[in-house]
Chains A and B, each alone.
Chain A
Amino acid sequence: MNSSFSYLFKKGCESIWLNKLMSIASVAVLSACLILVGVATLFSANIGKALDYVESQNEVVVFVYDTATDEQKAEIENKVKTHDNIASYTYISKEQALEEARAGFGEDASLLDGIEEGGSGNPLPASYRITLKDLDKMDDTVAQFTVTEGVEKVNSPRAEAEAIVSLKNIVSVAGVTLVVVLVAVSLLIIANTIRLTVFSRRKEINIMKYVGATNGFIRMPFVIEGMLIGLISAVIAYVAIYFGYATIMDGLGQFSSPFITSLADSFIPFKDIWFYVLGGFVGGGMLTGVLGSVVSMRKHLKV
């Protein structure tokens, strides 16, 4: 019945306006909760990405025997090129290794001059410097290369890798827990706020039942009210996150440390996620508003 729905919708809107103080309180609480949920989620996501970035800086080095045959060298190169856990690699030849050593010695580079002429020549091995995709599989990858013929040894930043993997796990678990707790708290607070509204109108609801209104008819304006409060809170939370995110990104960009700037670069750009943030807020806000209304009305509809 269209006339009924537009009447009830109007009543829901009127109710928000007439009970301004209550509505403002509800919107304030729900906005705060949504913002916290947004911050927690975005924070976890960004920490995850930052850790990914740090992870990608860790290199595994595969050293090749000088005495390896051409076949073995080709085999090693092939393995490096085609391995599915290798994100990128750099080949450092013996000569390049020596150059790097010279650069490392700085002023004392002349000490290395004698190497090529006397003795057994350049002792430094050729190597592949590898960055892995998945640090969890590092041990497997290292083992695979260690047993490959022609490989002298494999260096891996085992300790750092383990630390990063556990840190990522902790952040995921903490992030999810925090979000779940915040969502539960939001629901409770909203349900309670609406329960107060419903309670203050229980006489009215009672009269409506005597006049023959169905539960759905009585509930609808409160549900509309809950939905609108959810919607308004969602918009406020979105605007807050939008400006907050931009401010933080700018703030990080001010730091002179290249580590922090490249960290900031790895932050998820807002334009990639604005839709999810807005959608999440609107969906979550309206759902909380509706659920809060329905749950808090149940007792008063039993006449």
Chain B
Amino acid sequence: MELVLKINGKNVPVNVATDEMLLDTLRGLGFYSVRCGCDTTNCGLCTVWVDGEVTLSCAYPTFRAPGHEITTLEGLEEEASQLADCLASEGADQCGFCTTGMMMSALALKRRNPSASDDEIREYLIGNLCRCTGYESQLRGVRKFLQGGNA
């Protein structure tokens, strides 16, 4: 299928298999912040935004993407850098594999609820699994980011 996707504000022509998922399309285009973890819509590693809504790209058929705005972490570089500093300063980054997906959720939370309480942060990030940190350091990092704090 020949399609044109809008990724991070740019129109990108692609040629994909009918049953290709957005995760594979994005990685094939070099958007390596989008990662494959469980591949069964549970872990949140493949989180991207579709029209601003956090979405699991591992189960999003690419043929549905034309006409929608796809955003990956590469498209949020400056903001992502500030969040990454906050996470790092709180020790919220160990193996780092889950970090990019979690950052997409945290950045979406900032738009949806910039003054989120700790419980609201936990609720919003519940779809992003981490096997290293126990989540407390990530909670601190995201809280610091939402409060506009510097690392």
Tell me if chain B binds chain A: no
